[in-house]
Structure 1
C-alpha cells in the first residue's frame, strides 16, 4: 500500500524525469519544483498547490489532481491521459501545446486561459469555466461540455465535432471557421431560435 504524504511543502526541488507511480499527496505545496519530463501513473494529488512548477513534457496516466491550484505553472507539451482534475483551477499558466485524452476535468476553472491549438479529446468537462478562454485552432472533440461557461470564448477554427455544445450560446463566442457536425449544427440552430423541420 503506497504511503500518503500530508501537509508537506516542497521548494526548489529538482524532480526532473521523476517517476511518480502510485504516490499520494494531500494538501501539499509545491513551489519552483522542476517536474520536466516527469511521469506519473496512478498518482493522486488532493487539494495541493503548485506554484511556478515546470510540468514541461511531463506525462500523466490515470492520475488525479483533484481540487488543486496551479499558479504560474508551465505545462508546455504536457500530456494527461485518463486523468481526473475535478475542481482544480489554473491561473496564469502556460498551457500550450498540451494534450488531454480521456478523464474527468469537470468543474475545472480555466478562465481566460490561452489554449490555442491544444488537443482535448473524449474528456468529461462538465461545468468547466472557459470564460474568455482562447481555443483558436484547438481540437475539442468528443468532450462533454454540458453546463460549461463559455461566454466570450474564442473558438475560431476550433474542431468541436462530437462535443456536447448544449451550453454554448453561439452569439456570445468568437466562432468563425469552427467545425461542428450535423447533429451539433441542429443544437446551435435551436439555440439561435430556429425551428428545425
Structure 2
C-alpha cells in the first residue's frame, strides 16, 4: 500500500477526506490500512473493496451493505452498526468486542474464521452459509440467531444464551450445556451425538469406534 494519497482514486480520496455519506456506492477501492474513523455512512454500499486492517473507530454505519469486500482484521472499536449487512465478504480475524452496544448485523456467505464476538447482544442475527471455523462466541445473547449452513468447526461457545438459536443446518457445532444456556435450541443430529459421546454415552448407529463402523469386515 502506498502512503501517498495522490496515488488513490478520486473516490478513495473523497472517502478519506469527507465525514458524511448518504445513498452512495463505493466500488473497487483499495483502502487497506486506512483510517476511516469519525465518519457517518447512511444507506451506502461497498462493492469489491480492499479494506484489510482499515480503522473505523467512532464511525457510524446505518443501513449499509458490504458486498464481496475484504475486511480482514478491520478495527471496529466504538463503531456503531445499525442494519449493516455483509455479503460474500472476508472478515477473518475481526475482533467485534469493542463495537458500540446492540449492533444490528447480518452475515451471508462470509468468511468469519478466527473472529471474536464477546459480550454483545446479537439477537436474531443471521450467520448464513458462512465459514466461521475457530471463531469465538463468548458471553453473547444469541436468542433467535440463525447459523444455517455455517461451518463452525473448532469454534467456541461459552457463556452464551442460545434460546431458539438455529444450528439445525450448521456443521461442526459443539455446544456445551454446562457453559451455555440452551432452551429450544435447534441442533443437527451430529451435534447431539457429539454431546452424548462427550458425556460418555454410545449412540446406536453413530459409534465412532472404527472396529464397529458399518462396512468394516470382522475378523474370523
| TM beyond 0.5 | yes
The answer to whether residue 134 in structure 2 is matched with residue 119 in structure 1 is no
RMSD between aligned residues: 2.3
Equivalent residue number for residue 181 of structure 1: 188
Structure of greater relative contact order (alpha carbons < 8 Å, 6+ residues apart): 1
Encode CA deviations 1:35-64: one digit per residue, 9 max, x unaligned: 121101111111111112122110111111
Instruction: Pick the structure with more strand per residue.
Output: 1
| Residues 144-163 of structure 1 mapped to structure 2, 5 A cutoff | 144-163=151-170
Equivalent residue number for residue 78 of structure 2: 72
> Normalising by structure 1, what TM-score?
0.88
Paired with 1:11 and 1:169, the residues of 2 have a C-alpha distance of 48
The answer to whether residue 33 in structure 2 is matched with residue 24 in structure 1 is no
Equivalent residue number for residue 140 of structure 1: 147
CA 1:47–1:96 in structure 2 vs 1: closer, same or farther (change >3 Å)?
Answer: closer
Encode CA deviations 1:1-53: one digit per residue, 9 max, x unaligned: x85x99xx947701222211000112111222111211011111111111121
Contact 2:83 2:104 in 1 (8 A): yes
Please report how far the alpha carbon of residue 166 of structure 1 lies from its aligned counterpart in structure 2 after TM superposition: 4.4
> Normalising by structure 2, what TM-score?
0.80
Unpaired segments of 5 or more residues in structure 1?
Answer: none
Instruction: Pick the structure with more helix per residue.
Output: 2
Paired with 1:184 and 1:95, the residues of 2 have a C-alpha distance of 29
Unpaired segments of 5 or more residues in structure 2?
Answer: 1-7, 205-220
Contact 2:38 2:57 in 1 (8 A): yes
Paired with 1:151 and 1:30, the residues of 2 have a C-alpha distance of 32
Equivalent residue number for residue 209 of structure 2: none
Please report how far the alpha carbon of residue 185 of structure 1 lies from its aligned counterpart in structure 2 after TM superposition: 2.0
- Rg comparison, structure with higher value: 2
Equivalent residue number for residue 62 of structure 2: 56
Equivalent residue number for residue 93 of structure 1: 100
Residues matched between the structures, number = 194
